[in-house]
Structure 1
Amino acid sequence: MTAVRRFLGAATLAAVLLAIVFAVYSFTKSRPQDLPWTPLGLGETPGLFTARKIAALGEDFAQCRALLDHAGVRHIALEPVRPAQSACGYDDGVRSTGGAVALRYAPAGPGMACPVAAGMAMLEWNVIQPAAKRHFGERVRTIEHFGSYNCRRLYGRSEGDWSQHATADAIDLAGFVLTDGTRISIVRDWSGTGEDGAAKAAFLRDVRDGACRLFTTVLSPDYNAAHRDHFHIDTANRGAMGWNACR
């Protein structure tokens, strides 16, 4: 009887382990973006580790550009910017020139670090356009922004940590223009007042929340008064198991 019990116990344990292995395998096949070790694809649905994988592209410019190419995002590499005796600058800057990315920027043609460009492509496909269609029945044609590269410290202070803008690893989004000409401004429409106010506020919150799945830092008017007129989004690389900031 003891031997039988041992056999049954071993068989039960083996069955449980086999079920766990099968579950992990099935999960890996169906949702690879939710695992930290699977490769990033810009055409995939965002997962639990997508933001960190995008941020990690800052360590491999060639791989980042290859992902843009594979996704059909036409772009040009920018000349490196390395100010003398400064923590500012970048050597992985790109400028999107069309292709699979349909959005225009105003002002036109901002340069940004390659990981930001990758994240912006995914943001359009997975967040911005679906949200615009859902709330307005239209597409977004233009993103209004306050720029990417800016050699400065956090909040423009004279001391302290450098901003992600100092390496072009951030961009500040100010508003959106739909194909029918409707303008959605963060400073004006975040509160949800005025004509179509509720829909515009809901759209902006969908974009903010969706960006949190793609960028390691997303700061909105909910964060503080300094962000009352824009979304700050960046690709700060805090490691595979690092923390994200979303507010």
Structure 2
Amino acid sequence: MGRRRQTVAISRRIGRFRWDRRALGLLALFALVVAGWSWLSAHPEHNPRVPLDLDDPIGMATAGKLNALRQDADACRAVLERSAVAFQALAPAGEGECARPDRTRLETYPLAPATPPVTCPLAVGLELWRERRVEPAARQIFGTGVARIEHLGAFSCRRMYGDADAPWSEHATGNAIDIGAFVLDDGTRISVLGDWASDTDKARFLRQVRAGACDAFATVLSPDYNAAHADHFHFDQGASWSGACR
């Protein structure tokens, strides 16, 4: 009888131990969920459920949030409003493959010769890129800000590379822009054509802002891609987040 009672007591302790382990496991899981939620609340740039705000850093969820704006101009413009970015929503223009139902112009963006109307997703990408990548790179490398960014055009009703048999370019709907140079607050000019291949701080700046653009645009093409881009960076918010960064 003594042995039997001892065996029953041990069995009961083992049973309680199993339930204790399960309870501890559930408590640990709950603690992880709470910690994860608290971390996401403090880092909205990583939370895909939080709407995009350009005041937030670029994070793991940023690309997905940008991609979600492609088919929703109203939601896209809400991002600009929420982020206190001045813009104009212009009337639709064009027709056929070159129809531009979404024409958005950033009012204070330092583009030269003038700030052209582009799609809202491209405008959001431009603002994100300038604030989070271009300005920090200029201040880190040169100790000054960027006075203007020179472009070679945005809208152009054409197929890629002007080839009649090629797919339509993102430029055909104003969903792309070509950037040729930067002018710093101290007057220093940095051009893709003149400085990309040099062994200077200007080249380091260009490569840094090119790499940084891949966080803000679906497609980024530079002189490393082909000779047609020897004098500019091509940025677009194409039909899908292609991950092209060359």
What TM-score results when the alignment is normalised by the length of structure 2? 0.87
* Structure ranking higher on relative contact order (CA contacts 8 Å, 6+ apart): 1
User: 1:130 — aligned with what?
Assistant: 136
Instruction: Give the SS at the match of 2:198.
Output: coil
Alpha-carbon shift at residue 12 of structure 1 (Å): 3.4
Matched letter for residue 91 of structure 1: P
Give the 5 Å matches for 1:79-94.
79-83=91-95, 86-94=96-104
**Who is 1:111 aligned against?**
117
Pick from 80, 93, 97: which aligns with 2:107? 97
TM-score normalized by the length of structure 1: 0.87
Cα offset, 1:27, TM superposition: 2.8
How much is the aligned-residue C-alpha RMSD, in angstroms?
A: 1.8
Aligned equivalent of 2:59, options 38, 44, 47? 47
Tell me which residue corresponds to 1:67.
79
Unaligned runs of 5+ in 2: 1-12
The answer to whether structure 1 residue 121 and structure 2 residue 127 are counterparts is yes
**Could you list the per-position Cα deviations for residues 84-107 of structure 1 after superposition, in whole angstroms to 9, with x for gaps in the alignment?**
xx3222111111222xxxx42222
- Per-residue deviation at 1:186? 0.6
Q: Distance in 1 between matches of 2:56 and 2:14?
A: 52
1:52 and 1:215 in contact (8 A); partners too: no
Aligned partner of 2:244 in structure 1 is 245
Partner Cα separation in structure 2 for residue 173 and residue 68 of structure 1: 21
Asked if the contact 1:33/1:45 (under 8 Å) is kept, the reply is yes
Q: CA deviation at 1:243?
A: 4.3
Q: Extract unaligned runs of 5+ from structure 1.
A: none
Q: Which residue of 1 aligns with 2:41?
A: 29
Residue 219 of structure 1 is aligned with which of 196, 203, 221? 221
* Candidates 183, 192, 195, aligned match of 2:189: 183
Find the aligned partners of 1:13 and 1:169 in 2 and give their Cα distance: 51
Distance 2:39 2:179 in 1: 35
Equivalent residue for 1:159? 165
Distance (whole Å) between structure 1 residues aligned to residue 144 and residue 111 of structure 2: 17
Per-residue CA deviations over 1:97-124 (Å, capped at 9, x if unaligned) read: 22xxxx4222212111111111111112
**Percent identity, aligned pairs only?**
44
